[in-house]
Structure 1
Amino acid sequence: MHAWEAIDQSVNYIESHISEELDTKQLAEQVYLSTFYFQRLFKRLVHKSVKEYIKLRRLAIAIDLLNNTDWKIIEIANHLGVSDHSNFTRMFKETYHLTPEEYREKRPRMNMIRRPNLALNYLLVDEKVPLIINGIVLEIEKRQLTEERYVGIEGMVSVDQQLPIGQQTGIDQPGELWQRFYQEKPLLKGIVDEVMEAGISFAASHSQTHFGYFVGGKELERAIVLPTGWVIKHVPSGYYLVCKIEAETKEMLVTNALNEAYRYLFDVWLPKHEIKVEAFSVERYQEIASIPTMELCLKIKNSRCGQ
């Protein structure tokens, strides 16, 4: 068994027994590792200590239960193995900066710690060869894209609260922009495509602590008068690395699948191929044959790369 497979086995066990008391020594013994080496290896691969990861996975599940059940807070706490209501509330607020009651009332989109796909770190696929893992399909290629224009809204996002992808907690600021876009999208009827939408990340001028994020629909025609507060964003023509992503549901596509695609591209694929990309990316969403699909497009710095 490879070292990463041992940790992956432990992560699976934690997920299946998240409501039970979980002991680090017992987890280490199950995969035949010393407690010391197990903890070091777990932190290296998961980027959280064992205890911290278990706590944050329980709180992520709590978010789901607060959204999708009418369970009382104490019932959710007990289900997740936390018998003390005040202790559960304290952990929740320390992590998400809201109490469970406040979260249930406001329902903001949140960044949560998700179960990592450790196998992705050790798989390297060629261009145009689909990679299928845990219900997610990734396919990567270099492609010349023509200019596109989108109409939507934009805001500034804190780097500390959003990066690295899938490893932070707190308000999902891009997700909040998406919610606002969908609430106000009827104002753009006849102005934007009903199907093609995009989220665009770009470098914020004179800031190293924030980046810009835009959400919008593909423009149908030019020379339009926009509603107040709406802007046009250009996606410049150029040579892009395009990662096509498919998932079973749109919710899975914009959370787990997108997180894993970003991590795989930046941690594995790009370094192995020695490709540099600009601080500009486009998440293009549509549905093909009832399958939620996204193209994550990263603008390549050297336009001659791969040609």
Structure 2
Amino acid sequence: MDDQLNAICRALDFIEQHLKEDIRVEDMAECCGYSLFYFIRLFNQTVHLTPYDYLIRRRLAEAARELIKTKRRLVDIALDYDFQNPETFARAFNRVFHTPPSQVRKSGVLDSRLIQRACGRNQLLYYRDYGTPKAQQCTHPQILLAGSPFDSDLTVEMVEQVVARLNPFYPEMREFIWISTYSSHSFDRQPAYFAGVELHDWTALPTNLYARRLPSGHYACFRQRDLLENLGHIRAYVYQSWQANTTETISSKIEIFRYSLSKNSPSTELILPLFNNNDSSF
């Protein structure tokens, strides 16, 4: 197993060293000492992307950074990263980032969660030790929440703050819902955070808490042990690998976490709205 992991790490390093060159999947397999068929299967099982798709996504990630941070012409950036022409580059860019490169150049805005970062050993070890969270698609009804805003992302330590804030109003609460809302104008800004418990009607809203509504719609739900401890790895898998292998598109504006406070088996579920939701909130 370690030999295989080391071989895939060599392939990943090879890709990083030759992002702007005309390399083939056969070249990656050769640097690992594997047959083409075996290498493709092993890479897909280990990285959860095909070698070619990973290569294209890494090229697009670096090209996107240049679009935002430099004034180089789009055609020069496209050719530099081995795309045949600007049209081919634009189609691939739009498929991955759901927006054309010309718009990213104009706005300087791109959802950083969609950028394929160089996959390292820690990400591969996470896949090996935990597996990947399985997605369950479902339709949720509208949910009314009573809660409070918070100023940092959900962590194990933040759970204690949420309980301390909400427990005086809901001493019997068994779970809470956490919402991270991203600005569509600047995805690199810190999201707005909110945690609350489910209400059955607005009249039950305590005076010192705020109301929030989650609209009904179609969602993808991801559950895994130690989800909060591995949230960075899970986000990388969901936004890059899972979305690349499904016909669904995640709405980029909001993330929802359902956190169970059960003492016997505390758990966290990541819930993401999909683009076929009809509500304009997404």
TM-score range, shorter-chain basis? 0.5 to 0.7
Q: How does 1:251-262 map to 2 (within 5 A)?
A: 259-260=232-233
Match of 1:116 in 2: 119
Following superposition, the deviation at residue 43 of structure 1 comes to 0.9
Residues 197-240 of structure 1, C-alpha deviation per residue, up to 9 Å, x if partnerless?
747699957544268xxxxxxxxxxxxxxxxxxxxxxxxxxxx9
Rounded to whole Å, the distance in 1 between the matches of 2:256 and 2:263 is 14
Q: Which runs of 5+ in 1 are unaligned?
A: 126-139, 151-156, 158-172, 186-196, 212-239, 246-257, 265-278, 282-297
Go from structure 1 to structure 2 and tell me whether the alpha carbon gap of 1:103 and 1:181 turns closer, same or farther (over 3 Å shift): closer
CA distance 1:148–1:17, shift in 2 (3 Å): farther
Root-mean-square deviation (CA), in Å? 4.4
| 1:54-76 Cα shifts (integer Å, max 9, x gaps) | 11111111111011111100111
Counting only pairs closer than 5 Å after superposition, residues 54-203 of structure 1 correspond to structure 2 as 54-110=55-111, 111-122=114-125, 145-146=160-161, 147=163, 174-176=181-183, 179=186, 198=193
Q: Under a length normalisation based on structure 2, what TM-score does the superposition of the two structures give?
A: 0.53
| CA deviations over 1:24-46 (Å, ceiling 9, x no partner) | 11211111111101000111111
3-state SS, counterpart of residue 91 of structure 1: helix
Q: Is the Cα–Cα contact under 8 Å of residues 10 and 31 in structure 2 kept in the other structure?
A: no
CA distance in 2, matches of 1:199, 1:112: 25
The whole-number CA distance in structure 2 between the counterparts of 1:29 and 1:201 is: 53
Partner of 1:209: helix, strand, or coil?
A: strand
Query: Is this contact kept in 1: 2:181–2:193, CA < 8 A?
Result: no
- Counterpart position of 2:262: 302
Q: Rate the CA distance shift 1:208–1:43 in 2: closer, same or farther, 3 A.
A: same
Q: Distance in 2 between matches of 1:201 and 1:31?
A: 50
How many Å separate the matches in 1 of 2:39 and 2:70?
36
Q: How far apart are residue 13 of structure 1 and its match?
A: 1.1
C-alpha separation between the residues in 2 aligned to 1:262 and 1:98?
Answer: 20
Within 5 Å, give how 1:265-276 maps onto structure 2: none
Alpha-carbon distance, 1:181 to partner: 11
The CA distance in 2 between the partners of 1:78 and 1:178, in whole Å, is 28
**1:14 to partner: Cα distance:** 0.3
- CA contact under 8 A between 2:68 and 2:104: conserved in structure 1? no
Q: Which digits, 9 at most, give the CA deviation of each residue in 1:95-137, with x for residues without a partner?
A: 3233211221123332222222344443799xxxxxxxxxxxx
Asked if 1 retains the 8 angstrom alpha-carbon contact of 2:19 and 2:55, the reply is yes
- Residues 183 and 189, structure 2, Cα contact 8 Å, conserved in 1: no
The CA distance in 1 between the partners of 2:11 and 2:26, in whole Å, is 12
Give SS of 2:13's match. Answer: helix
Following the alignment from structure 1 to structure 2, what is the Cα–Cα distance between the partners of residues 201 and 21? 51
Deviations 1:256-283 (A, max 9, x none): xx6326569xxxxxxxxxxxxxx964xx
- Once residues 197 and 235 of structure 2 are traced to their aligned partners in structure 1, the CA distance between those partners, rounded to angstroms, is 15
d(CA) in 2 for partners of 1:201 and 1:87? 45
Identity in percent = 21
**Local SS of the residue matching 2:33:** coil
Residue-pair matches, total: 189
Unpaired runs of 5+ residues, structure 2, are 130-154, 167-178, 199-213, 238-254, 267-282
Asked whether the 8 Å contact 2:68–2:109 carries over to 1, the reply is no
Q: Counterpart in 2 of 1:229?
A: none
Q: Quote the offset at 1:86 in angstroms.
A: 2.1
Tell me the alpha carbon deviations over residues 5-30 of structure 1, each in whole angstroms, 9 at most, x when there is no partner: 21111011101210001111121111
Cα 1:205–1:36 change in 2 (3 A) is same
Name the residue aligned to 2:242: none
| Cα displacement (A) at 1:49 | 1.1
Task: Tell me the amino acid that sits aligned with residue 232 of structure 2.
Answer: N
Shift of 1:78: 2.0
Specify the alignment match of 2:219 in structure 1: 209
Q: Are the counterparts in 2 of residues 6 and 31 from structure 1 also a CA contact under 8 Å?
A: yes
Q: Distance in 2 between matches of 1:39 and 1:202?
A: 46
Which whole-Å CA distance do the structure 1 matches of 2:16 and 2:188 have between them? Answer: 34
- Name the TM-score, length of structure 1 as normaliser: 0.49
Identify, as 1 or 2, the structure richer in strand. Answer: 1
Counterpart in the other structure of 2:205: none
